[in-house]
């Protein structure tokens, strides 16, 4: 008989007892508490969305071959809005602004396609839907009041909010393109947010959950590497650059070659799993007190979960992914996916044809917008749009796997951080320090002055550098041999 339900009981108990990550409840005991702004805004947003007197604050990302037109690059932050993590953190930041200025937050991502294909609203319905009566071309794509908030452009929006002039704007719709840090201090009426508190994750989960399409792609990707439904697993994300739609590789790590970084991820994962075992066993012990007759079965459920913990690698490095998929670097497994950067606005080699261009406009709109609310970019055929959506959905199975993992080893990247916020894992660490995240770094992966001092000392006393190197080679050999 399966012990899955008992394991779930133990996990729930662990959360209740404070032995796992905090729950994502949007409740407050007293409305005067600093963190109560989020549940307050969730309710306010629900009651004001669609009202005749509602004013809207819309996060946007335009296409230059769509409604955004040739001005799109100048109206987008970084011209193309950057990556998924950048976009989501900008939306988080704008949620705080929307609360302060009493506007209904909406999201309209024209490039590459609507965000609804990848993420769905949870408690805050940010979709720009027809019943709101907003003219996409006039009020959104060519909005009269528009802000670009970024490192290169500055933050005029913040200045006007602090001065109070923004709150006096008569415009029904104001658009903003930004990837500003979600937790950046603003002051005035804008509530604080820290990556070191549960509120950061609560905000992410109040806004987003995986779309049904990405959920299905995630199911398929996990099944392809032998992970059963509901089975706990470890996931590691190595962000190295070079995705389809990305111009160049990035130097994210100074820790060696990709397979050496993977070895560090393996060691980090082992430490995380050990700590997770202790949490589960403590919860099982607490379960034994509450339900003595089921104590043995609860402990068996924990043991079963510990003994079958697949290690799933997610990376944008094709060569490393190929080697893992070929079984060369056990215990890691990896779905055979080719990551696509969200900047990709067309599938290479797929061009508009007269046949596809003659398809009804309604089919093209359906490909771009899940509810048919938004007309498609004229430059893309229905077939091109459908292929673009499918490519991005399939690629975002990596994101879904990170969200679902029991334990995660993360890269210092927005993609990793946003997945962990949605996944709400306490069993998490980053390879190297990520100052934007509240997640602690893996031991031995921070190359700060202490590490460099240790290296210098080894060279000074002689011998320890060689020993460390040989140990590293032995560890790498063990990974390659699956030991």
Per the prediction, the chain carries an average pLDDT of 81
pLDDT digits (tens, 9 = 90+) for 419-437: 999 999 999 999 988 777 7
Identify the bridge partners of residue 311 per DSSP, sorted by sequence position: 234, 332
Q: What token pair was written down for 469?
A: 């190197």
Among 237-241, 329-333, 455-459, 479-483, whose mean pLDDT is lowest? 479-483
**Count of positions (residues) in the chain:** 483
Higher pLDDT, 199 or 460: 199
Given a cut of 60, whether residue 6 has pLDDT beyond it is no
Picking from 95-109, 230-244, 345-359, 420-434, which range would have the lowest pLDDT averaged per residue? 345-359
Q: Distance (Å, rounded) from C-alpha 62 to C-alpha 338?
A: 25
As a whole number of angstroms, the distance between CA 444 and CA 58 comes to: 43
Q: Which of 250, 264, 237 has the alpha carbon at shortest distance from 446?
A: 264
Structure confidence at residue 480 (pLDDT): 39
Strand partners, 238: 315
Distances (CA, A) of 200 to 26, 181, 193, 195, 431: 12, 12, 7, 6, 21
pLDDT for residue 25 is more than 60: no
Q: How far apart are CA 29 and CA 354, in angstroms?
A: 61
- Whether the CB-CB separation of 176 and 157 falls below 8 Å is answered with yes
If pLDDT is split at 50, 70 and 90, which confidence band does 351 have?
low
pLDDT of residue 435: 76
Between 130-144, 173-187, 232-246, the lowest mean confidence (pLDDT) is in 232-246
Q: Where are the alpha helices (DSSP H) in 17-62?
A: 37-48
Q: Rounded to the nearest 5°, which phi and psi values hold at 259?
A: -70, -25
Whether pLDDT at 307 is above 90? no
Tokens of 197: 């508190």
Q: Single out the residue of 283, 274, 307 nearest to residue 407, CA to CA.
A: 274
| CB 405, CB 312: distance < 8 Å | yes
Q: Is the pLDDT of residue 160 over 60?
A: yes
Asked if residue 108 lies in contact with residue 60, where contact means CB atoms within 8 angstroms, the answer is yes
For position 256, what pLDDT does the model report?
72
Out of 54-68, 155-169, 261-275, 434-448, least confident range: 434-448
Residue 399, C-beta contacts closer than 8 angstroms, at least 6 positions apart: 84, 118, 210, 214, 415, 418, 419
Region 79-104: mean pLDDT is 97
Q: How confident is the model at residue 105 (pLDDT cuts 50, 70, 90)?
A: very high
**Residue 313: phi, psi to the nearest 5?**
-95, 135
Tell me: cis bond preceding 430? Omega within 30 of 0 counts: no
Residue 199 has pLDDT above 80, yes or no: yes
**Contact predicate 66/345, CB 8 Å:** no
- Residue 306's pLDDT is 56
Percent of the chain past pLDDT 90, that is, above it, reads 55
Report the pLDDT value the prediction gives residue 364, as an integer from 0 to 100.
35
> Phi and psi of 249, rounded to 5°?
-75, 160
Query: What was the pLDDT predicted at 355?
Result: 37
Task: Categorize the per-residue pLDDT at 155 as very low, low, confident or very high, splitting at 50, 70 and 90.
Answer: very high
Report the C-alpha gap between 207 and 225 in whole angstroms.
30
Q: What's the rounded mean pLDDT across residues 411-416?
A: 91
Task: State the DSSP code for 333.
Answer: E
Of the two residues 286 and 172, the one the predictor is more confident about is 172
Domains of the chain: 34-210 (no CATH), 216-339+397-447 (3.40.50)
Contact, 15 vs 282, CB < 8 A? Answer: no
- Strand, helix or coil for residue 276: helix
Q: Please list the residues that pair with 147 across neighbouring strands.
A: 176
Best-predicted range by mean pLDDT (2-11, 23-32, 106-115, 454-463): 106-115
**What region, left, alpha or beta, does residue 16 occupy, with left being phi > 0 and alpha being psi -120 to 50 degrees?**
alpha
Q: Return all residues near 328 (Cβ < 8 A) that are at least 6 apart.
A: 480
Angle (nearest 5°) at CA 342 between 382 and 231: 105
The residue among 324 and 307 whose pLDDT is bigger is 324
What pLDDT does residue 50 have? 97
pLDDT of residue 298: 56
What is the band of 33 on the pLDDT scale with cuts at 50, 70, 90? low
CA distance 2 to 56: 50
pLDDT in tens, 232-281: 999 999 988 766 655 555 455 556 788 888 888 999 999 999 988 888 77
Query: What pLDDT shows up at residue 221?
Result: 97
How far is Cα of residue 250 from the mean position of the Cα atoms in its chain?
19
Higher pLDDT, 383 or 477: 383
| Joined tokens for residue 28 | 């407050």
Residue 352 pLDDT: 56
């Amino acid at each position: 008989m399966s012990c899955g339900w008992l394991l779930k009981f133990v996990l729930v108990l662990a959360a209740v007892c404070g032995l796992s990550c905090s729950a994502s409840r949007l409740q407050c005991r007293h409305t005067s508490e600093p963190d109560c702004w989020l549940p307050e805004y969730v309710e306010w947003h629900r009651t004001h969305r669609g009202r005749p007197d509602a004013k809207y604050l819309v996060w946007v990302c335009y296409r230059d071959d769509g409604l955004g037109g040739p001005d799109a690059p100048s109206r987008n932050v970084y011209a193309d809005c950057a990556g998924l993590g950048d976009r989501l953190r900008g939306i988080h930041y704008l949620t705080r602004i929307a609360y302060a200025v009493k506007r209904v937050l909406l999201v309209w991502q024209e490039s590459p396609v609507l965000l609804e294909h990848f993420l769905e609203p949870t408690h805050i319905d940010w979709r720009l839907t027809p019943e709101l009566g907003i003219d996409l071309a006039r009020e959104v794509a060519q909005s009269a009041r528009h802000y670009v908030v970024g490192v290169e452009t500055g933050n005029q929006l913040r200045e006007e909010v602090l001065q109070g002039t923004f709150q006096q704007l008569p415009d029904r719709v104001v658009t903003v393109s930004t990837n500003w840090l979600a937790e950046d201090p603003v002051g005035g009426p804008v509530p604080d947010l820290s990556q070191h508190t549960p509120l950061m994750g609560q905000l992410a989960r109040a806004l987003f959950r995986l779309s049904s399409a990405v959920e299905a792609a995630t199911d398929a990707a996990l099944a392809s590497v032998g992970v059963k439904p509901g089975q706990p697993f470890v996931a590691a994300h190595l962000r190295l650059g070079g995705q389809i739609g990305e111009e160049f590789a990035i130097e994210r790590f100074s820790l060696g070659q990709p397979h050496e970084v993977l070895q560090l991820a393996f060691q980090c994962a082992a430490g995380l799993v050990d700590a997770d075992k202790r949490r589960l066993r403590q919860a099982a012990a607490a379960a034994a007190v509450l339900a003595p007759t089921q104590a043995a079965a609860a402990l068996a459920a924990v043991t079963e979960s510990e003994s079958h913990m697949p290690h799933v690698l997610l990376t944008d490095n094709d060569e490393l992914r190929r080697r893992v998929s070929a079984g060369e670097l056990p215990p890691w497994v990896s779905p055979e996916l080719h990551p696509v950067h969200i900047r990709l606005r067309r599938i290479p080699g797929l061009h508009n044809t007269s046949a596809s261009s003659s398809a009804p406009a309604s089919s093209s709109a359906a490909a771009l917008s899940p509810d048919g609310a938004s007309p498609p970019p004229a430059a893309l055929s229905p077939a091109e749009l459908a292929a673009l959506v499918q490519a991005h959905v399939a690629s975002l199975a990596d994101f879904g796997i990170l969200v679902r993992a029991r334990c995660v080893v993360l890269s210092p990247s927005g993609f990793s951080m946003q997945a962990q916020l949605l996944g709400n894992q306490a069993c998490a660490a980053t390879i190297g320090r990520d100052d934007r995240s509240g997640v602690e770094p893996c031991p031995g992966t921070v190359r700060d002055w202490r590490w460099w001092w240790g290296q210098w000392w080894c060279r000074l006393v002689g011998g320890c550098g060689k020993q460390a190197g040989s140990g590293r080679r032995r560890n790498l050999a063990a990974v390659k041999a699956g030991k």
